[in-house]
């Protein structure tokens, strides 16, 4: 009786080592695909978030120049006062009343304060990932304002540009 039990155990078919290795290989290929998809999703999410922030910072840059123009009207000054260096680069944030001349991209370095607001730090005593330069060009009877936001994400440099044409329409 005992011999018969041992014989039955030996007659049962099992998985061979090659079958087990093949199954593990197929499962690992599937896992590598899933992991690479997750990594790509994380990179895309970061890029989308930064692009949205860049758009809002670019819009703020245009609005800051518009505010200078409107302040000139309110104070009965020529509408291009403090915007007279046409074809120049500027940096400006919500704390400034007039734009500042920029000499390079890093003059427009933007850092986030404890309240979540972005402001300029041209000294780069603290660094943020965004910088903003505002270009003002003569454009017929108006000015063309181009707000460029620069940032680096996962080792790649990006630029977001927003243009608006402002007129003396008052």
Give 9-50 pLDDT, tens digit per residue: 566 666 788 888 999 999 999 999 999 999 888 888 989 999
Does residue 12 fall inside a structural domain? no
Q: Does residue 95 form part of some domain?
A: yes
Question: DSSP assignment of the chain, as one string?
Answer: -HHHHHHHHHHS----HHHHHHHHHHHHHHHHHHHHHHHHHHHHHHHHHHHHHHHHHHHHHHHHHHHHHHHHHHTT--TTTT--S-SEEEE--TT-SS-EE-SSGGGGEEEE-TTS-EEE-TT-SS--SEEEEEEEEEETTEEEEEEEEEEEETTEEEEEEEEEEEE---
pTM of the predicted structure, to 2 decimals: 0.76
Tell me if 92 is assigned to some domain.
yes
Show the domain range for 139. Answer: 17-167
Task: Report how many domains make up the chain.
Answer: 1
Q: Is residue 8 part of a domain?
A: no
Residue 10 within any structural domain of the chain: no
Structural domain contains residue 90: yes
Q: Tell me if 7 is assigned to some domain.
A: no
| Residue of higher predicted confidence among 80 and 2 | 80
Residue 35 included in any domain: yes
């Amino acid at each position: 009786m005992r011999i018969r039990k041992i014989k039955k155990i030996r007659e049962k078919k099992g998985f061979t080592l090659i079958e087990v290795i093949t199954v593990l290989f197929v499962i690992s290929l599937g896992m590598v695909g899933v992991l690479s998809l997750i990594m790509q999703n994380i990179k895309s999410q970061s890029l989308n978030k930064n692009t949205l922030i860049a758009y809002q910072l670019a819009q703020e840059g245009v609005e800051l120049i518009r505010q200078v123009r409107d302040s000139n009207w309110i104070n009965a000054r020529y509408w291009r006062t403090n915007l007279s260096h046409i074809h120049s680069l500027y940096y400006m944030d919500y704390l400034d009343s007039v734009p500042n001349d920029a000499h390079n991209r890093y003059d427009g370095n933007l850092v986030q304060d404890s309240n979540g607001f972005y402001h300029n730090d041209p000294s780069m005593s603290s660094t943020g990932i965004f910088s903003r330069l505002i270009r003002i060009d003569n454009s017929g009877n108006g000015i063309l304002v181009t707000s460029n936001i620069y940032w680096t994400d996962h080792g790649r440099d990006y630029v977001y540009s927003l243009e608006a044409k402002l007129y003396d329409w008052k």
